[in-house]
Structure 1
Amino acid sequence: MNNLFDIDKTEILKISAKQGTGVEDVLAAVIEKIPSPEYDREKPLRAFVFDSWYDRFKGVVAHIAVCDGVVKKGERVICASSGKKYEITEVGILYPMQVPSDSLYAGQVGYAMMNMRNIDEAQIGDTFFHEKSSVQPLPGFKSATPMVFAGMFPTDQSEFPNLRSAIEKLTLNDRSVQVKADNSPALGQGYRLGFLGLLHMDVFSQRLDQEFDTSVIITAPNVAYKMKIKGEKNLKLYGTDVITVLNPCLMPEPSIITEYYEPMVNGTIISPSEYINELTALCIDHRGRVKDQSYIDSTRIILRAIFPLSEILVDFFDELKSMSSGYARYLKTIYRSL
């Protein structure tokens, strides 16, 4: 750990989720090392929504962090983004189940119910405040950028309303999923979804099946390409000089394109040193470029390379694991000119 990440070994906590050991040390370290958030119970209410989910009987349940003031059952609050007014029907803490209480004070984290029936009413990153107060909304979360896109279509078109409802409820507490309506001549109505990665896509599709009994057809994953265009007429038409294209059928005329960009991934591979030749060949086969390599110790090597994201979407990691006992992880994604 010290060689790989330059972490002081005295700062490393030993913990096993499987055996449950070391958990108390982690909790103590959180209290000791992470500064307490600033809050003031005398100020007007500001409650930050950091998660939400849908209860079929009670509607939307918002998980909130009370940053200022106090919120009580029966009070009326306003949503900062929409301006809608709600009455608090229940508040409480998660322990880990829902434990109702009369109020939540600044510095506490809990849940709130407000008779919300529309899943879009509890947006993650939103702020709620009292009806008669004027406060500055809290800064929200920065939206994650999807990197992998795939189409999802119901196996039977009569199930499309159920798929739509299931996707709406799942995306309620997973705002990183980008959703756009799609239509295929072969598969019918469906959605084009954007995910953070392949694992994210797999987990989402499994939840659709397990939690909503929704069977879907998933198209092969692809990535978004960017193109720089020219001409005043075209700039007015698209509203920008750099456009993003997911479907090749929607590409503009090649004559107006000046540059193409594809998403790239900076990858780090850690492996036993005897596999270095095979790893280098694997990177080259996937249009990768090795930037540098160094020895961690006498038996392991760390290799850093840059790849086109499209080249490692499907089978790269399977090939890597079958070739060696190496591991890979993304550091960041950039767009490179083609």
Structure 2
Amino acid sequence: MTELKNIRNFSIVAHIDHGKSTLADRLIQSTHTVADRDMKAQMLDSMDIERERGITIKANSVRIEYTAKDGELYILNLIDTPGHVDFAYEVSRSMQAVEGSLLVVDATQGVEAQTLANVYQAIDADHEIVPVLNKIDLPAAEPERVCEQIEDVIGIDASEAIEISAKTGIGIPDVLEAIVTRLPAPKGTRDAPLKAMLVDSWYDSYLGVVVLIRVIDGVIKKGDKIKMMKTGAAYGVDKLSVLKPQMVDIAELGPGEIGIFTASIKQVRDTKVGDTITHEKKPCATALPGFKPSIPVVFCGLFPVDANDFDDLRNAIEKLQLNDASFSSEMETSAALGFGFRCGFLGLLHLEVIRDRLEREYDINLITTAPSVIYKLHMRDGSIQELHNPADMPDLTFLDHIEEPRIKATIMVPDEYLGDVLKLCQDRRGIQMDLTYAGSRAMVVYDLPLNEVVFDFYDRLKSITKGYASFDYQMMGYREDNLVKMSILVNDEPVDALSTMVHRDRADARGRAMCEKLKDLIPRHMFKIPIQAAIGGKVIARETLSAMRKDVTAKCYGGDATRKKKLLEKQKAGKKKMRQFGKVEIPQEAFINALKMDD
């Protein structure tokens, strides 16, 4: 049993690549939580895809034991959080489970957009924040300038910021001391009825569902009968452990502690993140407020390349949803692609990660349709409908106007690239809201349509600023705009998988680009194929794919020209007839490549 005053719960927040996971490694290593022979870089990033991309996707926790300078033994519960805007939901969840944060800032790069977003989440959760300057071993480090920046931009006192190098281990003992002396101990009553917060849950093929909890009041022991307050389901606790990244069994978890339990729960959907766990016989009076549900921002269709894989895809999506509360899906069918799912994501990186995990962990070949956002359709009769898929657009005679989602984007960029960034935002129908300076870096705030951002905005931003810009956004609500549905017709038949919503002023250029692209991608047939982009009944762009042709005049030597003409006319008539009945086979690759709009 650990006393409350000797427990510290904290998370590490920072922008992408500022060294959160490396700092976590050093803390684990310097307290000998993991034997040196088992130590590896990014100890807490357990998924292959996290290691490959070098990013944290899931927030992971670890329990560290540390003997302080005053001789007391402290239990430190660390939650390492993602830095990417698409996983902000994971961050906000972790914040609710702990009392303090280490704010890691790269001493060479200073405060970035994501640093701001994550710090504000920590401030919203009433955290005590300890600033840590990382990478001070690099020649380009400027700790004084970065301290000033933290005070100017974020408004936290940085006079006692700890200077460290997570890579070499400089300053790690100071960080451990600061955690013990500057962060508050958790509050809680041991004798009260059990009240624990469900922070995360994931599926383990041996243990069933594993549940990560933070105990607020009371004690949970092995063998207890517990109840989930949201779902009302009751279970018996089979196993209680703490994570030292590996599971270590313990007899009980008291107030202020973070640990995991298993209780023969079969479905992860029975464990709602943010739920309150209490004893079945002696429940607590009120449930915890829980977390705000995450709202998906980007939608796309996922279809199996081989229609026989549909059931495997369904099972894989169900398993992933269990592990990732912010990923949603529903079934849909498409004339071109067959059965599949319409899935919702928090952003494009989230979409890529889910797609990679489905292909990798479950070995399914997927087609991903063009990402789209939710539009609000205001009908003439006063009702409002949500449009997830452009192919489902209702008849225009019933439609009054369309509203699209807008975001408030914060972009931090070095001065020399500012012009390019402003032009990019202007090209994407952005409205400038603010422009301020922090040292030699500009902070631009734009009101942008989400539709323009989901395609490739982030990639373009990175390429025009050579990777120096950082970007963060939040939803701002809906606004009316002049939007139209653009359909693609191949051989006069609409291809629903390729229809998109575009702004009327952009429609011609987007339609032309799409037709040119498809002309290169669709293989030639025995007859001419028109490829058209249309808005309603009006064709706005057209390309014609010429037919493969046999030289029927080869055996006509000499003689009158009309003989050749007659043969060619006869062939032409045959081709015309063929075109009426001929079906155009569009290969799978053509769909996939047509949906990658790079230009």
TM over 0.5: yes
User: 1:119, 1:168 within 8 Å by CA — same for their partners in 2?
Assistant: no
TM-score (norm 1): 0.87
SS at match of 2:321: helix
Q: Which residue does the alignment assign to 1:238?
A: none
Measured after TM superposition, the shift of residue 12 of structure 1 is: 4.2
Give yes or no for the alignment of 1:115 onto 2:274. Answer: no
Measured after TM superposition, the shift of residue 113 of structure 1 is: 0.9
Q: Can you list the C-alpha shifts for 1:84-140, whole angstroms capped at 9, x where unaligned?
A: 221111111111111112222222111111111122122211222222123222221
Give yes or no for the alignment of 1:167 onto 2:313. Answer: no
Q: Can you list the C-alpha shifts for 1:274-297, whole angstroms capped at 9, x where unaligned?
A: 333333222221111223323433
Give yes or no for the alignment of 1:68 onto 2:217. Answer: yes
Q: Which residue does the alignment assign to 1:139?
A: 289
Return the match for 1:279 from 409, 416, 421: 421
Q: Which residue does the alignment assign to 1:239?
A: none
Measured after TM superposition, the shift of residue 252 of structure 1 is: 4.0
The alignment of Structure 1 onto Structure 2 pairs a total of residues equal to: 329
- Worse-matched range after superposition: 327-336 or 113-122: 327-336
Q: Which residue does the alignment assign to 2:367?
A: 217
Measured in 1, the distance between the counterparts of 2:264 and 2:438 equals 56
- More relative contact order in 1 or in 2 (CA 8 Å, sep 6+)? 1
List, as ranges, runs of 4+ consecutive aligned residues in structure 1 with deviation greater than 6 Å.
none
**What does 1:15-54 correspond to in 2, within 5 Å?**
15-54=164-203
Measured after TM superposition, the shift of residue 320 of structure 1 is: 2.3
Give yes or no for the alignment of 1:181 onto 2:331. Answer: yes
SS at match of 2:419: helix
TM-score (norm 2): 0.51
Unaligned runs of at least 5 residues, structure 1: 236-241
User: 2:200, 2:273 within 8 Å by CA — same for their partners in 1?
Assistant: yes
SS at match of 1:314: helix
Measured in 2, the distance between the counterparts of 1:160 and 1:290 equals 45
Measured in 1, the distance between the counterparts of 2:334 and 2:170 equals 51
Measured in 2, the distance between the counterparts of 1:199 and 1:279 equals 21
Give yes or no for the alignment of 1:302 onto 2:443. Answer: yes
Give yes or no for the alignment of 1:337 onto 2:451. Answer: no
User: 2:372, 2:389 within 8 Å by CA — same for their partners in 1?
Assistant: no
Measured after TM superposition, the shift of residue 253 of structure 1 is: 4.3
- Evaluate the alpha carbon distance shift between residue 312 and residue 60 of structure 1 in structure 2; reply closer, same or farther with a 3 A threshold: same
- Worse-matched range after superposition: 155-164 or 59-68: 155-164
SS at match of 1:91: strand
Q: Can you list the C-alpha shifts for 1:45-82, whole angstroms capped at 9, x where unaligned?
A: 12221111111122111111122211221221222122
Measured in 2, the distance between the counterparts of 1:187 and 1:27 equals 55
User: 1:39, 1:68 within 8 Å by CA — same for their partners in 2?
Assistant: yes
> Could you tell me the percent identity over the aligned residues?
39
SS at match of 1:166: helix
Give yes or no for the alignment of 1:227 onto 2:368. Answer: no
Q: Which residue does the alignment assign to 2:491?
A: none
Instruction: Point out the structure with max Rg over C-alpha.
Output: 2
Q: Which residue does the alignment assign to 1:86?
A: 235
> Which AA in structure 1 matches 2:260?
Y
User: 2:222, 2:252 within 8 Å by CA — same for their partners in 1?
Assistant: yes
Unaligned runs of at least 5 residues, structure 2: 1-110, 112-148, 482-599
Q: Which residue does the alignment assign to 2:455?
A: 314
Structure with the largest fraction of strand: 1
SS at match of 2:460: helix
Question: Alignment RMSD, CA only?
Answer: 2.4
Return the match for 1:293 from 426, 435, 438: 435
- Worse-matched range after superposition: 255-264 or 203-212: 255-264
Structure with the largest fraction of helix: 2
User: 1:265, 1:330 within 8 Å by CA — same for their partners in 2?
Assistant: no
SS at match of 2:299: strand
